[in-house]
């Protein structure tokens, strides 16, 4: 007997009944991000491993422990993308976008891959919706990105989400902070985990991102990065805060937040949800500025800022909200007798061409069982087609929510259904 196959651990199937929530989130993102002038890009799921080593950072947990990396048949080291910013930057460079437009705004959505310990809201194949803006060094661009995330989360109807904000400085002021941080960490070396001993040598900021509770306690008492900002970085951070306030976007300054990637400079931010459904995986959207990333990958010296939202976590929150998602059929066609099956099948096809969502059970069955399936489908109306309806050209639409049957000519079903639809369809675009 052959062994039953199942999905790879940490990589989940998305089935009807749940996929409608995902489609709702993705559709809302496309519509909203388009309002901000962001166009969609799609990058390959596989990239040269060196792209992530050079951008994300060799000492990060992502590169050091979590990437799905393999050697292909041409002896090249390839990796499944663990995040979306580095591939977007590679595409920006490869296609010489800087020569085509001074300011570029992109968004993306798709699967990412990291081999990490799984828990609620954290999977090995996970999905992100993100955006990148290239060409503007101004604080207004940072705030535009955060405004876009804030509006996105608001339109999803999510509550109790806090924006955490920090600045990591730049190559001018960060070395002084690094030196002070290393001095502090060396004094507490015995309290740190072995991974943080290595991080201290390569990139001490990574210690602040360690998930070990003891290391977190040490980091919490360390030097404050905001006290080391140079005047330009200070002015930029102050401008970010002023503009967020002007847009009435509430935020909390969190000087211990560094994010888990090496490419960030100046502004970093996280949108954190306080909902028990997420457990400790409470960050639903995060990002920041990475002015040196494009240049470090061999491209022009172009400033950039971006973010990514965890789609899996947003879906978990929306499930908890008890909102209804997805379109239901406009009409279910039931067959009264075997001789009407072909006519009903033909009618369903015509009405679909005319724009209706029509459910029809190709198996037929008793009229009672078909009516049960109609009720379960959530269809607004049911039409029973039998010999009488076929010969007379007349039928009745039964409103499944209750009410008197509506007489209708078989040639006029689509118009009649639309005219008697009391509520907007579940997939109709929002007026907001």
Determine the Cα–Cα distance for residues 36 and 213; give it in Å rounded to an integer: 40
Q: Which of 93-107, 175-189, 302-316 has the lowest mean pLDDT?
A: 175-189
| Look-up of token digits 């580095």 | 86
Dig out the tokens for 9 from the structure. Answer: 């651990």
Q: Are 149 and 306 a contacting pair, CB within 8 Å?
A: no
Assign domain 19-173+229-320 to its CATH superfamily: Bira Bifunctional Protein; Domain 2 (3.30.930.10)
- Which residues make up the CATH 3.30.930.10 domain(s) of the chain? 19-173+229-320
Q: Are 374 and 361 a contacting pair, CB within 8 Å?
A: no
pLDDT tens for 360-406 read 999 989 999 999 999 999 999 999 999 999 999 999 999 999 999 99
Pick out the residues of the known binding site.
83-85, 114, 128, 132, 259, 263-264
Dig out the tokens for 171 from the structure. Answer: 């190559």
- What's domain 331-419's architecture? 3-Layer(aba) Sandwich (3.40)
Judge residue 69's burial from the number of C-beta atoms within 10 Å of its C-beta, 0-12 exposed, 13-18 middle, 19 or more buried. middle
Determine the Cα–Cα distance for residues 406 and 210; give it in Å rounded to an integer: 65
* Torsion sign across C-alpha atoms 8, 308, 237, 93: positive
* Torsion sign across C-alpha atoms 258, 260, 262, 267: negative
- Centre a 10 Å sphere on the Cβ of residue 356 and count the other Cβ atoms it contains: 18
> For residue 222, is pLDDT > 90?
no
Determine the Cα–Cα distance for residues 196 and 213; give it in Å rounded to an integer: 12
Instruction: Please measure the distance between the N-terminal and C-terminal CA atoms of the chain and give it in whole angstroms.
Output: 56
Q: In the sheet where 69-71 sits, what is the strand order?
A: 46-48, 77-80, 69-71
pLDDT tens for 346-363 read 999 999 999 999 999 999
- Which residues make up the CATH 3.40.50.800 domain(s) of the chain? 331-419
pLDDT tens for 56-86 read 876 666 777 788 999 999 999 999 999 999 9
- Centre a 10 Å sphere on the Cβ of residue 390 and count the other Cβ atoms it contains: 18
E strands in 311-372: 331-335, 358-359
Q: What is the pLDDT of residue 278?
A: 73
* Closest residue by Cα to residue 359 from 282, 415, 312, 417: 417
Dig out the tokens for 306 from the structure. Answer: 């971006």
Say whether 305 sits in a helix, a strand or coil: strand
Measured CA angle at 32 (ends 29, 35), to 5 deg? 145
pTM: 0.86
Determine the Cα–Cα distance for residues 365 and 285; give it in Å rounded to an integer: 49
The H helix count followed by the E strand count for the chain is: 15, 16
Pick out the residues of the known binding site for L-histidine.
83-85, 114, 128, 132, 259, 263-264
């Amino acid at each position: 007997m052959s062994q039953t196959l199942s999905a790879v651990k940490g990589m989940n199937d998305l089935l009807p009944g749940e996929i409608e929530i995902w489609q709702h989130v993705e559709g809302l993102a496309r519509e909203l991000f388009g309002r901000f002038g962001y166009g969609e890009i799609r990058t390959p799921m596989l990239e040269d491993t060196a792209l992530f080593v050079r951008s994300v950072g060799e000492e990060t947990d992502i590169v050091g422990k979590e990437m799905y990396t393999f050697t292909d048949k041409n002896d090249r080291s390839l990796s499944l993308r663990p995040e979306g910013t580095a591939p977007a930057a590679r595409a920006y460079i490869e296609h010489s976008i800087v020569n085509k437009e001074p300011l570029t705004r992109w968004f993306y959505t798709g699967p990412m891959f990291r081999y990490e310990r799984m828990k609620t809201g954290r999977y090995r194949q996970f999905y992100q919706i993100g955006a990148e803006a290239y060409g503007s060094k101004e604080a207004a661009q940072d705030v535009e990105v955060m405004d876009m995330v804030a509006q996105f989360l608001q339109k999803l109807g999510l509550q109790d989400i806090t924006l955490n904000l920090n600045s990591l400085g730049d190559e001018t002021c960060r070395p002084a902070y690094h030196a002070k941080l290393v001095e502090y960490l060396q004094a507490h070396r015995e309290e740190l985990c072995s991974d943080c001993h290595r991080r201290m040598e390569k990139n001490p900021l990574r210690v602040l991102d360690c998930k070990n509770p003891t290391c977190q306690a040490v980091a919490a008492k360390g030097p404050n990065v905001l006290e080391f900002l140079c005047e330009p970085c200070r002015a930029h951070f102050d401008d970010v805060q002023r503009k967020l306030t002007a847009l009435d976007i509430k935020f909390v300054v969190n000087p211990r937040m560094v994010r888990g990637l090496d490419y960030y400079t100046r502004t970093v931010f996280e949108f954190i949800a306080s909902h028990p459904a997420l457990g400790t995986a409470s960050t639903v959207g995060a990002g920041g500025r990475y002015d040196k990333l494009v240049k470090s990958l061999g491209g022009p010296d172009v400033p950039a800022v971006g973010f990514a939202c965890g789609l899996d976590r947003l879906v978990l929150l929306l499930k908890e909200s008890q909102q209804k998602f997805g379109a239901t059929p406009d009409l279910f066609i039931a067959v009264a007798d075997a001789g009407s099956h072909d006519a009903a099948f033909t009618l369903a096809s015509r009405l679909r061409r005319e724009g209706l969502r029509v459910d029809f059970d190709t198996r037929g069955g008793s009229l009672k069982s078909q009516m049960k399936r109609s009720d379960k489908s959530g269809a607004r109306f049911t039409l029973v087609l039998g010999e009488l309806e076929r010969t007379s050209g007349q039928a009745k639409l039964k409103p499944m929510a209750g009410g008197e049957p509506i007489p209708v000519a078989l040639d006029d079903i689509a118009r009649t259904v639309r005219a008697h639809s009391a509520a907007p369809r579940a997939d109709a675009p929002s007026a907001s």
